Amino acid sequence: MHIFVTGGSGQTGPAVVAELVAAGHTVTGLARSDAAAARLESVGATPHRGSLDDHDSLRRGAEAADGVLHMAYGGDFSDLDDMMRRDRTAIEALGQPLEHSGKPLVITSGTLLMPAGRETTEKDEPDAAGIAAFRIAGERACLGFAARGVRASVVRLAPTVHGPEDHGFISMLISTARKTGVSAYVGDGTNRWPAVHRLDAAVLFRLALEKAPAGSVLHGAAETGVTMKSIAQTIARGLDLPAISLTPDEAAGHYVSPFMARVYSFDGPVSSAHTQELLGWSPAHPTLLDDLEHGDYLATPAS
């Protein structure tokens, strides 16, 4: 297949593009800068100039492809309504050229939008009042195309997609530990985060494009839930720092922002059993704690 990809030059994107190319697909990737175009070319993709706000460019990319993978998500987190609008309208622009074609449209969401406090599955409804509810509009826009002849599906990624040169939530935790001299968790630290290695996530995206049925909701989680205390303790050992508990009030001032304190205290284990059975997805790469101990996360930062 010829796949049009957004977000192919981001953190997870190059691994996904490389996986698609290795499987024999051709990839065209949205690029809004020379640097993004060069990164896409380095992993075997052809750049397509444009941005998420350039809907004509998105439509042209989708029209020329056999399928679309939408991974890009951007904007100002101080204006969540605008972020939702940008994502929803981009998905609509990407999906419209695929109507009545049976071609795949796969978009990215996150498991943080699921209800907290229990292990949820792909069949559960997202929490409309949760910390990641701003992703729901994009999911609905995508899945709406399933009734319009598009093989539409959603991949909800774990909050930590780990691997070399990660600059996501776990790297932010490590940076905060270096800065403050302590590796912290909130309360008793038993709240759980799902996790997935970047290379396993790349395989999942490929399988979704190749064979996910229309209307599928998929969970990109190789591990159901890793406790934040175990994450903090592993960081503490690697940096030779104490691991400490914070109250919610203390956490609001300790982490990057009060919002991130809520994220790090979130208890959101999820199952991916249905996803694995449906697509034959078998995560095979290191776990999050293995990556923390043996990967590049705790290496001495460059001066």
Contacts of 151 (CB under 8 A, 6+ apart): 67, 102, 103, 104, 105, 212, 213, 214
**Pairing mode, if any, of strands 26-31 and 2-6?**
parallel
Q: 246 pLDDT band (50/70/90 cuts)?
A: very high
Q: Is the pLDDT of residue 303 over 50?
A: no
Average pLDDT over every residue of 108-133: 96
What pLDDT does 301 receive?
66
**pTM of structure:** 0.96
Buried b (16+ CB within 10 A) or exposed e, 56-76: ebbbbbbeebebbbbbbbebe
State percent of the chain over pLDDT 70: 98
Contact 142, 216 (CB under 8 A): no
Q: Is the pLDDT of residue 50 over 80?
A: yes
Q: 79 pLDDT band (50/70/90 cuts)?
A: confident
Average pLDDT over every residue of 89-97: 98
Nearest Cα residue to 208 out of 44, 70, 9, 65: 70
Helix axes 13-22, 34-42, angle to 10 degrees: 40
Residue type at 76?
D
What pLDDT does 170 receive?
96
Q: Is the pLDDT of residue 18 over 90?
A: yes
What pLDDT does 101 receive?
98
What pLDDT does 80 receive?
83
Average pLDDT over every residue of 80-91: 93
Q: In DSSP terms, which residues pair with 28 in a beta bridge?
A: 4, 46
